[in-house]
Amino acid sequence: MRLVLAENINDADEAKVRDGVFEFSDAKLEAGLQRSAELIEQWHGKSNGRITCFVAPHAPETCSPQLLRKSRHLADGKGVGYTIYLSQSQIEIEAVKRTRGVSPTHYLFANDFLGPRLVAAHCRYPDASEIALLGEFRTGVSNNAAIAARRGASAPIRELQAAGCSIGMGSANMAEDMVEVMRAGLFAERVRNNDEVDPQPEDVLEWATTGGSRLLGMSDQVGTLQPGKKADLFLVNLMKPHLVPTLRAVSAFVHNGQPGDIEDVMVDGQWLMRGGKVSTVDETDIVQQAEKIGHSVWRRLTQQFPDVPLPVRLPPGFVSQGQQASNC
């Protein structure tokens, strides 16, 4: 695969943050920056360039001005990009306004954090002045539409793009399927603007491919199929009942496609999946291990915190293949 790795760092006392108290630690700041630097030194450029690294301070409310400035300085010094969660919740916005006196984006601006190498994740609630600032600095925005929809939110993508931001698409948690992400991005933006035709499926596919490569600083290498770029591609079987007739392939795939329609994947000229089967790992074994480990983790959690109620009753053992149908 092609990976961009980052250490998620902050210098806030997280136990106190839960109570609305924001105190910051110089020792935690330096430890986080050290972990980030070590990750970059160890992994950036490895596997023939398929592994690269970013610097990733967590979010405006959990990062001091010193951490923001030093993170940007580290990224610039190492020649890598950097990322942060931005405007992802009303809690974040209220906390930054209360502790810093400005909105989250203005807080980043005041600490020289905005720039074309920044990827701001989410950006669900920026006001007009924040959108203008993000656009002025050509900030990249990761539109995590599927998880935003689960939170009852939608980023103002039309306005961010018009202001000058580059748009990519991300999954975040609970939405690891990029086909779902693209479709959610299309629907959410149309609903938000009460627009039946904009964005078009081709726009959304561009955000998910070329836009993503631009955000990650890789647009000269990947993101489009053309001579001189690396051979990263996926092939879709359009001869499926939900995709025919193939009058407009991109529209059919974005509106009706499923992950299983992607049958072949190549990265850097190497086939990773052929005919729907991943050739580099044992998928069945990994799924079974994940199921077993997941149940083990939940059991450990309930033993450690027995007074915390769970929304479900855990079964007596991890779900085996034979139990799947009856437990669905």
Mean pLDDT of 294-316: 83
pLDDT, tens only, 164-175 = 999 999 998 877
Structure tokens at 321: 């293949």
Q: Which domains does the chain have, with CATH numbers?
A: 3-224 (3.20.20.140), 283-327 (no CATH)
- Residue 298's pLDDT band (cuts 50, 70, 90): confident
pLDDT, tens only, 100-150 = 999 999 999 999 999 999 999 999 999 999 999 999 999 999 999 999 999
- CA–chain centroid gap for 288, Å, is 26
Structure tokens at 82: 């950097």
Instruction: Quickly tell me which residue has 């190492």 as its tokens.
Output: 78
Structure tokens at 259: 């992950």
pLDDT, tens only, 176-195 = 789 999 999 999 999 999 99
